[in-house]
Amino acid sequence: MTVSETDAGTRPDARAEALVASYERAGYRRTAPALLQPAEPFLDLSGEDIRKRMYQTTAPGGGEFCLRPDLTIPVSRDYLASSQAGQPAGYCYLGPVFRYRADGSSEFLQAGIESFGRTDTAAADAEMLALGLEATAHYGLAAPDIRMGDVALFRALIDALDLAPAWKRRLIKDFNRKKTLAQDLDRLVLGGTSGRPEYQGVLAALAGSDPKGAHALVTDLLSIAGINAVGGRSVGEIADRFLEQAALGASARLPGEVRTLIEKFLAVAGDPDAAAMALRTLCAEGDMKLDAELDLFESRTGFLAARGVDVSRIQFSTAFSRGFDYYTGFIFELTDPTRMGDPLVAGGRYDGLLTRLGATSPIAAVGLAVWIERLAIYGGAA
């Protein structure tokens, strides 16, 4: 069986082509990444929701590959392999992605934009949301619900806390997993104790040992046990995760009042102007220094207003997340106000992704994805 970008059910219609043509006119170069991709970047960087719905295969030489479940990582990889790497560049695309879905086809069309290397962060963020609104209008939905968040605000809050680096990484990672985040906070308030006392002593010993020696010991033990890889992760990566659990089990304690502050922070919601005011008040009360992040937040709101976006319609929440581990800042979703369900357009900022894909220095990045099949129900037939 062969897979092509013109298979039945994923054939772009005239409206989809016109949408991507509008992105090309806006300065984004059209690209078409390979359908078959290395699995490792998606396993490590996408998030649990993507990982559990990927279609994977093993090559004769042992390499792990997958049908692309998303286009952000493939476009990013192609950009890094191009002569444009490290320079400002923008790309647009239209093609199928593949994720298991129990209630529909696992192959569906996605359009989108990825923008790399822009230093005008607030303006670039605002452009993504404005172009997302143009996409829904293009399909006949003029006033979608707008949900917005900002992962950078939560990151800045956690970075300001007096916690071990492993705990900071854990809290930031679990921002996408609300139940797990609450469990993390419970553990910290209780003193960071692990729920597995049978080997807590071993974890504590590893946490206090030489990092290189501990890594070598765990790697050797896994090899002796005949473990070569699990879920696409190497023995070294499994050892890294085990040692992080050791660090999490080490002595750490979060005062109750700090947990209360975090919970108050995650309860802030409203339009961007009201939310910014509430956050500045909370920062003053809790002696938190989030000035740079809040200045960027308010600058983004100004650029959105300058683009004609009615910011009073935006539903901002500090707790809003999208389930992708690579987001580092501004995130948004556009949904149908008359229907409950998945987003029609969504995106955000992922400044840390390209270094994790091999870039030698940080590269700013922001983008959006458009679900063509969800929007196709609006505005009649093409």
Same-domain pairing of 201 and 231: yes
| pLDDT tens, residue by residue, 6-31 | 443 467 789 999 999 999 999 999 99
User: Looking at the domain assignment, is residue 255 inside a domain?
Assistant: no
Are both 178 and 57 inside the same structural domain? Answer: no
Q: What is the CATH number of the domain that holds 360?
A: 3.30.930.10
- 133 and 58, same domain (yes or no): yes
Tell me the pLDDT band of 335, cut-offs 50, 70 and 90.
very high
Q: Is residue 169 domain-shared with residue 239, that is, in the same domain?
A: yes
What's CA 86's distance to the chain center, in Å?
A: 21
Q: What mean pLDDT do residues 56-80 have?
A: 94
Estimate the crossing angle of helix 165-173 against helix 235-249, to 10 degrees.
110
Per-residue pLDDT tens digits for 258-267: 788 889 999 9
Q: Clarify whether residues 58 and 126 are in a common domain.
A: yes
Note whether 151 and 299 are same-domain residues: yes
- Per-residue pLDDT of 238-254, as tens digits, reads 655 555 555 555 556 67
Do 270 and 370 fall into the same domain?
yes
- Same domain membership, residue 125 and residue 188: no
For the entire predicted model, the pTM comes to: 0.80
Q: Report yes or no on 187 lying in a domain.
A: yes
Residues 267 and 148 in one domain: yes
Looking at the predicted structure, is the pLDDT value of residue 231 above 60?
no
Q: Identify the pLDDT of residue 14.
A: 92
